Structure 1
Amino acid sequence: MGEKIKVLRESRGMSRPVLAGLCNRGPDWLKKIETGERELRSHTLLLALAAALQVGDLSAITGTNTSTPVPLGRLTHPGMPDIWAAVMTRSLTVSAAKPVDPAVLQGRTDQTWRVWHASGRNRTEVGALLPALIRDGEAAARTLDGAQRRAALVALSDIYRLTGQATAYVAPAELAWVVADRALSAAQDADQPAAIAASAWNMGNILRETSYPEEALRVVQEAADLIRPHLDEAPDDWRGIYGALQLHAAVTAAREGKEGDAWRYWGKGDQVAKSLPPSYVHPSTVFGRANVDFHAVSVATDLRKSQKAIGLADDIDPDTMPSIERQARLWVEVARGHLQRGDTTAALHVMQMAHRIGAETVAYTPSARTVAADLWRTAPRALRAEAGRLAEAVGIAAAG
């Protein structure tokens, strides 16, 4: 069984830490499974491994003749069909209608980013605005020329980056890659370093979440090298996206178990934050002092340093973070830390907070759903009802 798991993992380009993390376990646990040092008897963990490896039947791992289907259903959202139509059916002809003014288009895009960070129902509200933004952005980029076209391309790159955020984990893989590539292509056509760096940050997210951590690091490092020469005279937002690239690299390294690299990248982001005004927040990545501190918790959690993660979280004032989406994700990370320590009561309390702050962030983020599912399965009798209500609210109980 261990050899089968290893072959499947490697055939999908997944590292051991990534696959183990998807099962909420450490790489040493998976190594022992793969080498046969440890027997895997838990049916729940077998299903988790099979789902992470996208294996449709458990017999592909167990080698038995008994068929056991593995639920591989993708999360869905009612806004996806309209977004899919806007992205995948763009016209090949130029519209005769007057294109949107690039400044107006950028203003609408910036406002939609603010909705993403400010709303507890951000996927639903942003998803309703994206189809028109995508079509208007495409029309402006294709019909304008000169400086106006470059401005429209920057806005279009921002629109596609936001589309990637709003459809993460609910979009089919082909749409995720199309959106990431269009964001980067538009930025490169605009020849604007900050836009290129921001779209590379977005591309890095896609690469990391699809188990290409080395490629994710390469992309964000190249983007950092591209924008670094401009930083001395650049606006604050250029330094903000440079800092966001460092935090991205920190989390990517942490998920690979590279502790030294993870904290080195985090330190670079920390230095960038210190060079910016204390109240500075990047409009789309929300890079700033609070986000650097939030990422320290994420890095410690991904490195399975739960005690350190919880200690760092104790020193954070969540209200300093203007993004509801990021606040909710912080509490999910803290809940993960509590679960790593075996403190189910604290983890449940913190997850309930995360859900109250950002219900859709919890419901549509795999790590949050994993925590909710683990709580539902392992909560002590006194907390079982509360854990069940959380699982139902997140959609775990309904999915079985």
Structure 2
Amino acid sequence: MDLSADLSTGERIRVLRESRGMSRASLAQLCGRGTDWLKKIESGERELRSHTLLLRLAAALQVHDLAVITGQDDGPAASVPLGRIAHPAMPAIWTAVMQRSLTSSAPAHADPAILQGRVDQTWHLWHTSEHNRTEVGALLPDLIRDAENAVRALDGDQRRAALVALSDVYRITGQATAYVAPAEMAWVVADRALAAAQDADQPAAIAAAAWNMGNILRETAYPEEALRVVNEAAELLRPHLDGAPEDWRGIYGALQLHAAVTVAREGRDGDAWRYWDRGDQVAKSLPANYVHPSTVFGRANVDFHAVSVATDLRKAQKALGLADDLDPDTMPSRERRARLWVEVARGHLQRGDTTAALHVMQMAHQIGAETVSYTPSARTVAAELWRSAPRSMRQEAGRLAELVGVSTG
């Protein structure tokens, strides 16, 4: 955004904070300081001399150049390590999420069935598009606003149906903005998905939102909380499974696989395979061709997760053996197929086979370019290949790194 040259550093911080919908307390907490400290900085009562604190403020405000905050643009650019990957869809999504209206502009005839249909189509696009973040990201701002408006405009059973759709909207927002959204927005999105599902009082929607919350917790280094959330959701859903729709069992199975990966990353071998076995049993109880619409739980995804669990447990030989027995084409999700090949590449790297790792990473990128470019584990593999590739493969490894967006400078 354009800021007047007459603004002081404190005034710039205030304008940037307010434009992002952040409270003073939230921004101060992200910097490890109190609200009163930030108030004095913004008012000019206190001068901000610490370069470290300037960097923290810039990162929290998602500002790439310190000159935007200091107003001193007569020297070399001072870039800010944001720790997240930029995506052009984020500003519009941020605005829709963080600056939502408190009043409804929805027509009185808002139809939750039509809204849910749009959400389902968006999930389908997420799983089938090579450029899923870009294409889904373009749809999300209007979808978020329409879902929020529908919930405010409706009542009774129609409102509960709209709440389920709203929860679903925030779940796919969490998926599409993973690793590119500022941390505070990721938490807001996950919490709104869960709150809407609980307001609807629909067990399957609550379980799906908990699965999403578990993703956020696990990726922000709270594995114990992630496990607690998905286990509680599974227990909530369990009494309803007899005679329940297939998708209710599907999300129950997805919760088991989520737990399997969570504990595998903690090195808990026995627990990881026990959770995986539970997911496997759920898949066996469903039709062979069943696929959950958002989590893609089903026979193929259970088998794909076995590779992930083995890789996270650093059992490379087992992971690669399991991968050899898979038919990737049985998985309808392009996004999930790309992530499978990233896991296989990790397994090859664990064994020191850079040639095979590079080959399957190239396959992963061909299948889902944005899945690879915006997933930290994939970027880590690409960077490792660039560093460790022999001279004969250096050019190919460099080309992959550039495609993924990893610096080779």
Q: How far off its partner does 1:316 sit? A: 0.2
Deviations 1:143-198 (Å, cap 9, x if unpaired)?
A: 10000000000000000000000000000000000000000000000000000000
Deviations 1:328-350 (Å, cap 9, x if unpaired)?
A: 00000000000000000000000
Q: How far off its partner does 1:71 sit? A: 4.5
Task: Within 5 Å, give how 1:98-137 maps onto structure 2.
Answer: 98=108, 100-137=110-147
Q: Supply the distance in 2 between the matched residues of 1:71 and 1:190 (Cα, whole angstroms).
A: 40
Query: Which SS does the other structure have where 1:339 is aligned?
Result: helix
Unpaired runs of 5+ residues, structure 2, are 1-29, 31-78
User: Which residue of 1 is the match for residue 202 of structure 2?
Assistant: 192
User: Which residue of 2 is the match for residue 217 of structure 1?
Assistant: 227
Deviations 1:102-149 (Å, cap 9, x if unpaired)?
A: 000000000000000000100000000001100000000111000000
Is the CA contact 2:106–2:149 (under 8 Å) kept in the aligned structure 1? no
Match of 1:279 among 286, 289, 299: 289
Task: Within 5 Å, give how 1:147-162 maps onto structure 2.
Answer: 147-162=157-172
Deviations 1:255-280 (Å, cap 9, x if unpaired)?
A: 00000000000000000000000000
The structure having more radius of gyration, on CA atoms, is 2
Query: Which SS does the other structure have where 1:233 is aligned?
Result: coil
Query: After the TM superposition, which parts of structure 1 deviate over 6 Å for at least 4 consecutive aligned residues?
Result: none
User: Which residue of 2 is the match for residue 66 of structure 1?
Assistant: none
Q: Supply the distance in 2 between the matched residues of 1:104 and 1:255 (Cα, whole angstroms).
A: 40
TM-score, normalised by the number of residues in structure 1:
0.82
Query: Which SS does the other structure have where 2:242 is aligned?
Result: helix
User: Which residue of 2 is the match for residue 173 of structure 1?
Assistant: 183
Match of 1:269 among 279, 284, 289: 279
Q: How far off its partner does 1:74 sit? A: 1.7
Is the CA contact 1:262–1:299 (under 8 Å) kept in the aligned structure 2? yes
Letter of the 1:151 partner, please give it: A
Q: Supply the distance in 1 between the matched residues of 2:248 and 2:317 (Cα, whole angstroms).
A: 34
Q: 1:211 to 1:134 in 2, by over 3 A?
A: same
User: Which residue of 1 is the match for residue 270 of structure 2?
Assistant: 260
TM-score, normalised by the number of residues in structure 2:
0.80
User: Which residue of 2 is the match for residue 361 of structure 1?
Assistant: 371
Task: Within 5 Å, give how 1:241-390 maps onto structure 2.
Answer: 241-390=251-400
Q: Supply the distance in 2 between the matched residues of 1:162 and 1:172 (Cα, whole angstroms).
A: 16
User: Which residue of 1 is the match for residue 238 of structure 2?
Assistant: 228
User: Which residue of 2 is the match for residue 51 of structure 1?
Assistant: none
1:80 aligns with 2:107: no
Identity %: 82
Q: Supply the distance in 1 between the matched residues of 2:106 and 2:142 (Cα, whole angstroms).
A: 17
Q: Supply the distance in 1 between the matched residues of 2:296 and 2:106 (Cα, whole angstroms).
A: 38
Letter of the 2:288 partner, please give it: P
Query: Which SS does the other structure have where 1:232 is aligned?
Result: coil
Task: Within 5 Å, give how 1:27-38 maps onto structure 2.
Answer: none
Q: How far off its partner does 1:96 sit? A: 6.0
Q: 1:99 to 1:122 in 2, by over 3 A?
A: farther
Query: Which SS does the other structure have where 1:397 is aligned?
Result: coil
Deviations 1:191-229 (Å, cap 9, x if unpaired)?
A: 000000000000000000000000000000000000000
Q: How far off its partner does 1:233 sit? A: 1.2
Q: Supply the distance in 1 between the matched residues of 2:272 and 2:80 (Cα, whole angstroms).
A: 34
Query: Which SS does the other structure have where 1:396 is aligned?
Result: coil
Residues matched between the structures, number: 332
Query: Which SS does the other structure have where 1:100 is aligned?
Result: coil
